[in-house]
């Protein structure tokens, strides 16, 4: 990754947004260079948890999971999304306003679980991260944490720390990522 979105000039930011808008409109032109990554990771040594889903605008979706605390070995799932599914994900991203949002300054302790959303267009990336809280919620686990809940129902994303636009992105990507586990 060569650049950070916030360092782009007005024309660079406009081109970045336009690339996402093209995918949201169902166009597949430069899709290979555009991806969205949602992730939850962290934990103390020997208790690490990772859940990462990457959606390439060309339709490739990959999930990687690991949960040392619950003795779940690293696993990787991959598949292909239909054009309409890719369009839905990038429409949510485009409508979310994520690109205009500044990163909040969180005080995150070492070994804490951290969630993130990364959008990459041709080597330039925009990343938003936020703290995740572990709580024994069982069946009441928040749908916002659907990506982590697929792997560990005791995890939820602490809603008070999460910008609203992140919820929509996690929900739509999670809807398709859950399918890969089956």
In order, the DSSP letters of the chain are --EEGGGS-HHHHHHHHHHHHHHHTT--TTGGGEEEEEEEEE-STTS-EEEEEEEETTSEEEEEEEETTTTEEEEEEEEE--HHHHHHHHHHHHHHTGGGPPPP-----TT-EEEEEEEEETTEEEEEEEEEEE---GGG--GGGHHHHTT-TTEE--GGGS-HHHHHHHHHHHHHHHHHH-
pLDDT at 76 over 80: yes
pLDDT at 119 over 90: yes
Give domain 3-181's CATH superfamily: Mago nashi (3.30.1560.10)
Question: Is the model more confident about 145 or about 124?
Answer: 124
Which tens digit of pLDDT belongs to each residue from 44-68?
Answer: 888 888 888 889 999 898 888 888 8
Q: What is the pTM of this model?
A: 0.81
Sequence spans of domains, the chain = 3-181
What integer best gives the mean pLDDT of the chain? 77
Question: Is the model more confident about 176 or about 19?
Answer: 19
């Amino acid at each position: 990754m060569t650049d950070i979105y916030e360092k782009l000039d007005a024309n660079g930011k406009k081109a970045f947004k336009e690339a996402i808008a093209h995918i949201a409109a169902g166009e597949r032109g430069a899709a290979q260079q555009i991806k969205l990554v949602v992730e939850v990771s962290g934990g103390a040594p020997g208790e690490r948890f990772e859940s990462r889903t990457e959606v390439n605008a060309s339709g490739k979706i990959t999930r990687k999971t690991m949960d040392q605390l619950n003795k779940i070995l690293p696993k990787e799932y991959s598949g292909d999304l239909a054009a309409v599914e890719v369009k839905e994900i990038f429409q949510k991203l485009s409508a979310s306003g994520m690109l205009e949002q500044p990163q909040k300054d969180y005080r995150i302790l070492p070994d804490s679980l951290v969630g993130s959303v990364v959008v990459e267009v041709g080597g330039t990336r925009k990343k938003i991260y936020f703290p995740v809280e572990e709580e024994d919620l069982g069946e009441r686990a928040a749908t916002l944490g659907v990506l982590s809940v697929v792997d560990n129902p005791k995890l939820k994303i602490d809603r008070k720390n999460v910008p609203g636009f992140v919820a929509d992105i996690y929900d739509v990507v999670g809807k398709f990522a859950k399918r890969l586990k089956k």
